[in-house]
A and B are shown apart, each in its own frame.
Chain A
Amino acid sequence: MSLLHLAIVLPFLSAVFIPFLFKGLRNIHTGWFVLLVPLALFIYFIQYMPLTRDGQTVTRTLEWIPSLGINFIAHVDGLGLLFAMLITGIGALVVLYSIYYLAKEKEALHNFYVYLLMFMGAMLGVVLSDNLIVLYMFWEFTSISSFLLIGYWYDRERSRYGAQKSMLITVFGGLSMLGGIVLLYIMGGTFSIQELIGMSSGFMTDPLFVPALLLILLGAFTKSAQFPFHIWLPDAMEAPTPVSAYLHSATMVKAGIYLVARMSPVFAESELWLWLVAGFGIFTLFWGSFNAVKQTDLKAILAFSTISQLGLIMSLLGLGAAALHFDQLDDNVYMIATIAAVFHLINHATFKGSLFMMAGIVDHETGTRDIRKLGGLVNLMPITFTIAIIGCFSMAGLPPFNGFLSKEMFLTGMISVFELDIFNLSTWGVLFPVLAWIASVFTFVYSIKLVFKTFLGKPQFEKLPKKPHEAPVGMLISPLILVALVIVFGFFPNLLSNSMIKPAVESILPSLVDAGQTVKVDIYFWHGFTPELFMTIGIILTGIVLYSTLAKWESIYNRIPHRFTLNGLYDGGLSRSETGGYRLTNGVMTGFMRTYLVYIFSFFTAILLSTLLITDGFSIDTSNLAEIRSYEVILGLVLVSAAVTILFAKSRLTSIISLGAVGYSVALFFVLFRAPDLALTQLVIETVSVALFLLCFYHLPEISRKEERMKFRLGNAVLSITVGLTMTLIAISSFSSRSFESISQYHIDNVYELAAGGNMVNVILVDFRGFDTLFEICVLGIASFGIYAMVRFRGVGRENE
């Protein structure tokens, strides 16, 4: 176990001590102890930066289940390190923020920090694992810890609903991903991502390639809240705000992005991958920004904004895959798409984290997050306002913040679709820049709405549950650090370009690097009068017009009835599957024994008869038959008529006597077939059985003693005749197709020599096969004890009730 492994599992290990610290040191907020973990990890991961900058990677292996090819392989490259630093860096800021956000007297802090640390470790495991099964294990850990964190205030109904919804959707995706992983293993024979990348060129023609691609993408799309699986994210906003800031803006929702980026070298050669990733991404971008405008809750706006921005990154990763098809060009424009994706990933984590913390501060200091009640807070909360305006302007893509730069690069990537003449992109590809532009307009509108409706406008403090005032300093530190980064990355983007972005892009597009192309990351603030610039100007102008006329067109959102929205479909589907399942079991499980017997006999005959038919198994062989003698025919007639009499008997006494007649005829058959011991036993046992039947008959309760003939039911008759027919057919064909002789000759030959007996049946029972007899005695013993117990111990249960 190397230090790197220890770093990944450190959050899990430290989570063990949290409850003791919480209970033992009640005066100190538990968060202070927790803060040490992400800080230490962040510092630890910084030391890998020089390594990855030079294109080196670090791999450490810890054997787990080597016989199945499952080992805990920690692999640090540019992409993994970028995510690891996001996770630990923002993790530290979120923990610091939560110390001031959650009161140590009122909240169950030990639960909160245990879940949070569990999540942090799981995320680190996802981004630093090279083995797909280990990656999947950590992936599900993030689902579980996210479930626990969303349901943190478990006494609230909405929290439980949101937690359940996110669990169902992300675990559905996770299981699909596991399917994809298994298919990849079948294709490549290894779980290691690096080894799979090495052999990816042969996968394209494999019949399992497309299913594996679809299943892996399903996992990525559900986790990263892509259309139509985005519906869990707005409901996950019931979690405490630090959780929303951490999980649902900066880290967990980017796990899907990470997976797409990580698996790009394996799948990105295919047309399907490019279209699915880019197409779903661009539509999610549009749909998220369109829906964000109508929200009235601060966190709901931010949730839809996150969905939309994740779509943006996803579409860039999809288009970046086109870079692989132009590897002969020197100036590869599609590489810019990948660079933009990585750059926007960092930018989004900074500004969205600060915006969530801002929303948390507003909620904390005013008591509401409803923008219809807020307004005019600018004078009371100037620092929070500054954070909000920087975050929102960056999100809207305004200069001089980092969002502007990545938005420009995004537009560059989208416009370059026009130059792409592969995969029909030259025709349908027009949609990409158009949707991107429309979505950017909506992004502008909701960003402006978010900050103006909250902080500017008419003050309406009488509607607020609390008297608003500026937040404590501790709460402001984390968002201030994040907006400082927004500005720093805005003015000096090249701080990131060689240290973080270039190694990450090299991990996403390794085949280009192998082919000798260099990744040139050079982000300019001013790049001349390009189409992108005019598009941005258009976005701002249209956005201002749309925002000022918001009241006039807002009603279009109410046109779709709830039933047809995705949430309506989800809720309806869930309740329909519940009622459907209930109805199905209610219909099948009637509680009557007859129904179950009908099921059993029908399946029994259906399977046997169809097998007989399909395999053409029925045969009659008359060569080996014994001759028919008159005694046996007569006895057979007696037996059959006695059995049939039972069916038509009016009184029960008749049926019992007929059953006795059947038993005695069987005994007579035994006589005719030369089986004296059987005949003896059968006679005695039939007598006792009939006596027992009569005992039961005698004790029938008065009410139901009314004797009646069994009612004829056609269904029962058909079923029972089918069973009888099946038995006859199978008996005849199995007798006709004997394949070898009996082993009885051995018993006949050795009955005296080896066992010193003359009665072969008895010798077999007590000597050759004595064990059967031993346990048959046990059966009788148990039956007699059972009968004794039933008769003797009565009424015990009734007394207890």
Chain B
Amino acid sequence: MEILMSIVIGILFTCAVYLMLSKSLLRIIIGTGLLSHGAHLLLLTMSGLKTGAAPVLTEGITNYTDPLPQALVLTAIVISFGVTAFFLVLAYRAYQELGTDNMEKMRGTESHD
């Protein structure tokens, strides 16, 4: 199962990188979103996907899935959400001010050189 997940994660990374290399700002943000999904799944996969009970203490069960990576992923989700939200509003403001979402056109004016 882990090998399968590794391949899925690899495909997610491929799509993310391809999107990040594009011209449109929105696609770049979508790319970062995919990238963080890939990273979260990778975290979970690397700790092993052996089946066990959900990590909530229950009478009579000793075999739980690993709770530590889940805590790490939860933190990562929240942080990546904060960053993505910031990034999106930044892009939205950039549209408003510059009137473009084309990265090729976003270059400092001559005076900034």
Measured CB to CB, the residues of A under 8 A from B are 591-594, 597-598, 601, 620, 622, 624-629, 632-633, 636, 639-640, 643-644, 646-647, 652, 655-656, 659, 662-663, 666, 669-670, 673-678, 681-682, 685, 688-689, 692-693, 695-697, 699-701, 703-704, 710, 713, 716-717, 719-721, 723-725, 727-728, 731-732, 734-735, 742-744, 747-748, 751-752, 757-761, 764-765, 769, 772-773, 776, 779-780, 782-784, 786-787, 790-791, 794
Contacts and interface: CB of A to CB of B under 8 A. Distances in A.
A594 B21 contact: yes
A643 B12 contact: yes
A643 B15 contact: yes
Contacts of A633: 4
B68 to A, nearest CB: 5
Contacts of B8: 636, 639-640
B46 A735 contact: yes
A659 B55 contact: no
A676 B64 CA distance: 13
Contact of A647 (B19, B41, B44): B19
A701 B92 CA distance: 10
Contacts of A728: 6-7, 9-10
Interface in B8-22: 8-22
Interface residues of B, number: 87
Contact of B18 (A624, A670, A717, A773): A717
A791 B94 CA distance: 11
A620 B3 contact: yes
Contacts of A592: 103-104, 107
A688 B103 contact: no
B86 A783 contact: yes
A514 to B, nearest CB: 65
A689 B33 contact: yes
* Chain B interface SS verdict (over half): helix
B62 to A, nearest CB: 8
A561 to B, nearest CB: 37
A727 B79 CA distance: 22
Nearest to B56: A759
A731 B42 contact: yes
Interface string B48-70: 11111111111000001111101
A760 B67 contact: yes
A753 to B, nearest CB: 11
Nearest to B5: A636
B10 A674 contact: no
B27 A710 contact: yes
B2 A626 contact: yes
A791 B67 contact: no
B86 to A, nearest CB: 5
Contact of A673 (B19, B44, B88, B93): B44
A761 B6 contact: no
Contacts of A735: 2, 6, 45-46, 48
A783 B83 CA distance: 7
A699 B96 contact: yes
A663 B37 CA distance: 7
A695 B49 contact: no
Contacts of B91: 696
A791 to B, nearest CB: 7
Contacts of B55: 674-675, 748, 759-761
11 contacts: A594-B22, A632-B1, A643-B11, A646-B34, A666-B40, A674-B65, A688-B85, A689-B33, A704-B100, A710-B24, A761-B70
A731 B10 contact: yes
A786 B30 contact: no
Contacts of A769: 71
Contact of A678 (B4, B64, B73, B96): B73
Contact of A593 (B10, B40, B46, B103): B103
Contacts of B41: 666, 669
Given A673-B44, A674-B65, A724 B11 contact: yes
A158 to B, nearest CB: 31
A477 B46 CA distance: 89
- Which 8 pairs show the lowest CB-CB distances between chains A and B? A724-B14, A728-B10, A720-B17, A760-B67, A783-B82, A758-B57, A760-B55, A720-B18
A159 to B, nearest CB: 31
B57 A751 contact: yes
A254 B23 CA distance: 63
A700 B95 contact: yes
Interface centre among A597, A626, A757 (most CB of B within 10 A): A626
Interface string B71-113: 1011101110111111011111101110111111011100000
Contacts of B75: 765, 772-773, 776
A773 B46 CA distance: 22
A598 B44 contact: no
Contacts of B95: 696, 699-701
A438 to B, nearest CB: 55
Contacts of B92: 695-696, 699
A760 B54 CA distance: 9
Given A598-B21, A758-B56, A758-B57, A742 B15 contact: no
A677 B73 CA distance: 10
Contact of A646 (B3, B7, B19): B19
Contacts of A674: 51-55, 65
Contacts of A670: 44
Contact of B15 (A656, A720, A761, A782): A720
A761 B67 contact: yes
Contact of B30 (A593, A640, A655): A655
A765 B24 CA distance: 37
Given A636-B8, A720-B15, 9 more contacts: A673-B65, A675-B54, A710-B27, A728-B10, A735-B48, A748-B55, A757-B57, A769-B71, A779-B83
Contact of B82 (A662, A747, A780): A780
A105 B7 CA distance: 83
A238 B17 CA distance: 59
A742 to B, nearest CB: 6
A116 B89 CA distance: 62
Given A594-B21, A734-B46, A723 B74 contact: no
Contacts of B5: 636
A627 B1 contact: yes
Which residue, of A601, A703, A758, A764, has the highest number of chain B Cβ atoms within 10 A?
A: A764
A759 B41 CA distance: 21
Nearest to B107: A591
Contacts of B37: 662-663, 666
B88 to A, nearest CB: 5
A665 to B, nearest CB: 9
A601 B17 contact: yes
A593 B22 CA distance: 10
A349 B19 CA distance: 73
Contacts of B38: 727
A636 B2 CA distance: 12
